[in-house]
Structure 1
């Protein structure tokens, strides 16, 4: 199978490597001229011409940061792409509407594929996929989707997009609470691994506790989901809720805290670096 991946950042790069390892012919494109060097040692073929990537591709996977960029990509490749577009971009409702308008006008085969988990899972083919769009097209695409991760058909494009935003609100709120209590845990002087093991056995267990609390306690963060991207998704969630006349006061407070941390220079690797800002504030007290 021939696959084109447009956007070779942390997630797109992982998906491309995973699919190439499974024997697919994978072409990739990114506006970053250094993208090819980050894929050295893999079988992914990186092209400098975005229009060459989707030629003859059975599937085109879009993995760009925002909906605006996704719309730009779709407009650019619409005359070339013949296969199905799997758009993994996290976007707002307004961006989704603009995207679907372009898709409809161009008569493209398109699925919304919103991703859960991080770059390591992308490279292992262990992502969770919230898929929205035509159900028959989803069934037709189940083989490639199942090689990227575990696909869950959730309904229409809006439902898949909203579910991804809701998921990000929950995980971000969880991680922010963990960052706050990490200051208390450090005062206890306990072994970080023992703390995580103990807490994960009780009612406070969560994916964020197991993945991000160790980073916070040890001050050693992996490249995963930058604070800038986390804040952007929270902003999209707030915009979506407001469009329905719903207020999210706690999410709004978290958004403000993320903005403060970003302005202070934290979160280039992962948004959980907000714990480092809290450490600084703790020392000032």
Structure 2
């Protein structure tokens, strides 16, 4: 039996249609083998949920959080004792989640990972990275690359229109060139060219990731001038109400100006 709990009850119909038994509280789930956390605003929510959970289940935490927030979460895991906790940072979007094709950066005890691998493979493709911190940092790096790649495409999108090709032909040609190809070119560039931004990865979350990446780099005495510029673009876009209910790539509208 798969149980589902969310503070947003509007999604319960969809969960029920997918065969998930919805509950009004986590306590109603009872003693389960695995608990998968996917929380919206970082480590603060993870620490709250962990404080309410029993310690028998394997906890797989997919929540995006900073390294400082991760340390707070791990502190609770260590202090309570008995928790079997796996960091799982997800690569992909809603469509990959629905199809079970997410890539997962896994951190934590390797033996626990091996014991949980069969379950994890029902969610996507797990890759064991090493420590919790290594998996979390790699996720920040990966998402920062996605954001930077998208901003380059956004900046160049007016020139791409100057070529005079339809979107499908343009994307096909660039993707076949090898060096220009990327997942963002094939997915987000059509959104940018059409000005239609479906709900995927909010600008608030994108800016959070960039901020945390910059913060980590500064803690090591290194600067990230390009990421700082992107951070400012995201801030301007957010202040103008872009990407709230859709995708951070709507920041392209700022660059188009």
Q: Which bracket does the TM-score occupy, shorter chain normalised? A: over 0.9
> Which shows bigger deviation, 128-137 or 226-235?
226-235
Q: Is the 8 A contact 1:130 1:154 kept in 2?
A: yes
Match for residue 50 of structure 2 among 74, 88, 96: 74
Report the Cα offset of residue 213 of structure 1. Answer: 0.6
Determine the structure 1 residue equivalent to 2:207.
Answer: 231
Matched, 1:274 2:248: no
Q: Is the 8 A contact 1:26 1:44 kept in 2?
A: yes
Residues matched between the structures, number: 253
Match for residue 8 of structure 2 among 20, 32, 47: 32
Match for residue 154 of structure 2 among 164, 176, 179: 179
Match for residue 74 of structure 2 among 86, 100, 125: 100
> Which shows bigger deviation, 81-90 or 241-250?
241-250
In structure 1, stretches of 5+ residues that fail to align are: 1-24
Report the Cα offset of residue 186 of structure 1. Answer: 2.0
RMSD: 1.3
For residues 32-59 of structure 1, give each alpha carbon's deviation from its aligned partner in whole angstroms, at most 9, with x where no partner exists.
2323134352211221112223x22110
The structure, 1 or 2, with the larger RCO (C-alpha pairs under 8 Å, 6+ apart) is 1
Matched, 1:87 2:61: yes
In structure 2, stretches of 5+ residues that fail to align are: none
For residues 136-192 of structure 1, give each alpha carbon's deviation from its aligned partner in whole angstroms, at most 9, with x where no partner exists.
000000001111111110110100000000001111000000011112112333100
Secondary structure of the residue aligned to 2:28 is: coil
Determine the structure 2 residue equivalent to 1:264.
Answer: 240
Distance 1:40 1:183, change over 3 A: farther
CA–CA distance in 1 between the matches of 2:27 and 2:191? Answer: 40
TM-score with structure 2 length normalisation? 0.95
Secondary structure of the residue aligned to 2:95 is: helix
